[in-house]
Structure 1
Amino acid sequence: MAHTIAYIHTSHVLIPLFTGLSKQELPEVESFHMVDESLIKNTIRSQSLTKTTTRRVLAMVQSAHDGGADAVMVTCSSI
């Protein structure tokens, strides 16, 4: 049974980078991507990581798990 990793991004421009890295470094692992640009926009506007944004990220992690991910990586260091 193949393992699956989900990547959560705050910008769609990261999808090709992480797709390539996954194929190169984890060729036996399937992957999919989730993007929500408002996460970083709201964090910048608030100048901090808010409870609301934290809840939304956790909901995305749960959604990724529900979608079949065995592991989830949040690729934005600001959230």
Structure 2
Amino acid sequence: MGANGKDICKGDGGSPLVCPILYEDDRYVQSGIVAWGVGCGQEWTPSVYVDVAIFRDWIDGKMAAKGFDPTIYTYGN
């Protein structure tokens, strides 16, 4: 997990952007996918993320190909 206030770095593309679920300890929701950023690990530097829901069909297909049941995983809009 990255440090608070730190930007992504080269090689992070495709990584998940996860956010804690309010009032549910140790549970997170994947909200995005790292697209690109400026610099590396800089404080308070913006980065660009892609909405994970856009790739849901592709993710489900990849999971199914590896033997995972994508129907047990959920996502919200």
Q: TM-score, normalised by structure 2?
A: 0.33
Which of the two has higher C-alpha Rg?
A: 2
Q: Which has the higher strand share?
A: 2
Q: TM-score, normalised by structure 1?
A: 0.32
